[in-house]
Chains A and B, each alone.
Chain A
Amino acid sequence: MLKINNLSAKIDNKSILQDFKLEINPGEVHAIMGPNGSGKSTLSNILSGKKGYDVTGEVLFENNDLFSLETEERAHKGIFLAFQYPLEIPGVNTNVFLKTSLNAIKKARGEKELDAIQFLKLVKEKAKELKFDEEKLSRQLNVGFSGGEKKKNEILQMSILNPKLSILDETDSGLDIDALKTVADGVNALRKKNNSFLIITHYQRLLEYIKPDFVHVLMNGKIIKSGGPELALELEKKGYENIN
């Protein structure tokens, strides 16, 4: 599904990712752990099409050259990024935004767009599953949301948009234990349908609820070690300094 070959990225001549390699197959869950500043969010941003990086290397998503696609085209093809710091968009109603987003994607795929009633039904259902306070959906997007509510809103968007590849950039940071479980339920529900995940986290706790197929350790822009779920436990005990 996703193939990253020798990806290097720089900002203002500062090297952030170097010869990064990763392959994710349908239905797989990969976790990336790494110290602050190691390049995790940079990787997520590049996969989603954020501008401002000098990149070399190759990224294929279902055999499409990702770099030839605009940000929104990647979303249309099924890539979703749950932001580490979801943005507040004043004046934009959350429901309006969700509907615009869903229908933009449906339209690009040649699917039938949802009307207001169908959309509300879907949102209600998903919000309930994720125990997301529906009242918040009539507010401005993320404005006045708590840190955890913003993260949950990302997962709500994910489950509404139903992406093939979801990148979760520290979605667990700032979530309480119950929220963590509901988020994990959301992920696991999508996973059943053969969707893939790239989960960035600092804590192995999330990985107890979402069992990853692979765990990778990212340091200084490179994957220095890969393994199974046990690697997360080892990291938790030893810290990054003592992993080789």
Chain B
Amino acid sequence: MEEQLKIDFEKKLKDFSYSDQEKKFRETNFKEFLKKGFPNRKLENWKFSDLNQIIKSNIGELTFYNDYKKENQIDKIELISELEHNKIIIVDGKIEKIDFKFEDKDKIEVLVEQGEETIKENINSLINLNNAFSNKFCKIIIKKNYSLKKPLVIYHLTNKNTQSKNTNSRIDFKLEENACLILIDIFKDNSEKNFLNIYYNFELDKSSILKNYKIDKSINNNIKYSYNNVKQEANSISETFILSSGSKFFKNEINCDLLGQHSSAFVNGIFDLDDENHHEIKSNINHLVENTKSYQLVKSVLEKKSKAVYQGKIFVSSEAQKTDGYQLSNAILLSENSEFNAKPELEIYADDVKCSHGSSSGSLDENSIFYLMSRGLNYKEAKKLLINGFLLDVIEKITDEDIKNLIKNLLGVKE
């Protein structure tokens, strides 16, 4: 792999005339990645999902070079038709289109960035990989007091003939004071056996609101990692909802730093897994000042040999008195071979806090099935009704009505 990496990185540097600053930034990150490689189970964070192994067994040898000079064919993408939206289309890691057609032009700024000279935060090797290989860095700024009229949908696409490739994409967002953004990530893959690496940075200024809905519903054989790094000032709210379902492997990592008082973070999600799919949600909620709040609810429905992992961490620093932190996960195992791993972590250094966590897993309740069947529903219908019922409370956590309905439709939840 090392040979391939070096060749591909050389090619990449040749393609673009990067400024010295950017070149240096990419090289530093590249060296870091070479040193660390893909995460494996020896790292605490990755002990349930050995990415190195997963890539080896599902993809084999990866290549890292993507020709970002060429125009990608955006072949027939199915856009969401249920709601009007702004869009960004990313194909094989490259942003092909940015379209804020519903918005006031002077309220949104799109910048191309250079990359910092030094790496401020060395998060993990995948972020290094991303910084080394991603196309241009793009930053989107939502101006003070502006709420987008329509949601922004980011389509993550891959070309049909892309195979055994690593693609990287990165977008930074800044929500100025009192701004509001609804961001929906849709994953649609026409390809197989690739490793998609997605990295978002969010700066939430005072009283801003971010709602990020990640929808991985269409079935595909790709491996995905997504990292959300959210920094929150006073009174800001971040709401993340993850529908984790279609990909072969998907790890969603959400890092929220609650830096301002009365800021709050919500991380909710559904694992709806079949076959041998293996998905993970890893959250780090860092309560760093007084009076902040976090809430997490994750529900899993696991068929066949699927595996779901939820590692939810709540960190409370010694200054962060009056923290309110809550997390809960419940799983229904529909087969003896499915697996749910929950690892709640509470690390609390303040004394006046309210934190709790809980987790449960079990099979579908046969008595409830019998009850429903005795009313004329067949096994399949009874099971569906129970599962929908089980998922309802986490779906109800979605605060945007349109998205809630969209997700209900995707899951076949009827009312």
Q: Which residues of A come within 8 Å of B, CB atoms? A: 45, 48-51, 70-72, 74-76, 80-81, 83, 86-87, 89-93, 96-97, 100-102, 104-105, 108, 140, 157, 161
Does more than half of chain B's interface fall in helix, strand or loop, or is it mixed?
helix
Across the two chains, which residue of chain A brings its CB closest to B373? A71
Question: Distance (Å) between the CB of B127 and the closest chain A CB?
Answer: 38
Stretch at the interface among B144-152, B179-187, B280-288, B383-391: B383-391
Whether the Cβ atoms of A90 and B390 lie closer than 8 Å is yes
The digit string for B272-305, where 1 denotes a CB below 8 A from any CB of A, is: 0000000000000000000000000000000000
Whether the Cβ atoms of B371 and A89 lie closer than 8 Å is yes
Whether the Cβ atoms of B377 and A104 lie closer than 8 Å is yes
Whether the Cβ atoms of A75 and B374 lie closer than 8 Å is yes
Whether the Cβ atoms of B388 and A157 lie closer than 8 Å is no
Give the complex CA separation of A184 and B374 in angstroms: 22
B116 is an interface residue with CB less than 8 A from chain A: no
Across the two chains, which residue of chain A brings its CB closest to B394? A91
Whether the Cβ atoms of A108 and B368 lie closer than 8 Å is no
Q: Which of A50, A93, A100, A102 contacts B370 (CB 8 A)?
A: A50
Question: Distance (Å) between the CB of A65 and the closest chain B CB?
Answer: 18
Which residues of chain A have C-beta atoms less than 8 A from B377's C-beta? 72, 100-101, 104
Which residues of chain A have C-beta atoms less than 8 A from B368's C-beta? 87, 89
B residues 34-66 touching A (CB-CB < 8 Å)? none
B363 is an interface residue with CB less than 8 A from chain A: no
How many residues of B sit at the interface, in one of the four size bands? 20 to 34
Q: A72-B376, A72-B377 are in contact. Are A86 and B371 (CB under 8 A)?
A: yes
Which residues of chain B have C-beta atoms less than 8 A from A86's C-beta? 371
Which residues of chain A have C-beta atoms less than 8 A from B374's C-beta? 48-49, 71-72, 74-75, 80-81, 83
Whether the Cβ atoms of A75 and B375 lie closer than 8 Å is yes
Whether the Cβ atoms of B390 and A91 lie closer than 8 Å is yes
Could you list 30 examples of A-B contacts with CB < 8 Å? A48-B374, A49-B373, A49-B374, A51-B370, A70-B378, A71-B374, A72-B374, A72-B377, A74-B374, A75-B373, A75-B375, A80-B374, A89-B371, A89-B372, A90-B392, A90-B393, A91-B390, A92-B385, A92-B388, A92-B389, A93-B415, A97-B372, A97-B375, A100-B381, A100-B385, A101-B375, A102-B376, A105-B375, A105-B376, A161-B375
Which residues of chain B have C-beta atoms less than 8 A from A93's C-beta? 415
Which residues of chain A have C-beta atoms less than 8 A from B14's C-beta? none
Whether the Cβ atoms of A101 and B376 lie closer than 8 Å is yes
Across the two chains, which residue of chain B brings its CB closest to A108? B376
Which residues of chain B have C-beta atoms less than 8 A from A102's C-beta? 376
Whether the Cβ atoms of B375 and A157 lie closer than 8 Å is yes
Whether the Cβ atoms of A90 and B371 lie closer than 8 Å is no
Which residues of chain A have C-beta atoms less than 8 A from B391's C-beta? 91
Give the complex CA separation of A92 and B368 in angstroms: 11
Which 3 residue pairs of A and B lie closest in terms of their CB atoms, listed nearest first? Answer: A91-B389, A91-B392, A101-B375
Question: Distance (Å) between the CB of A171 and the closest chain B CB?
Answer: 14
Q: Which of B371, B378, B381, B392 contacts A87 (CB 8 A)?
A: B371
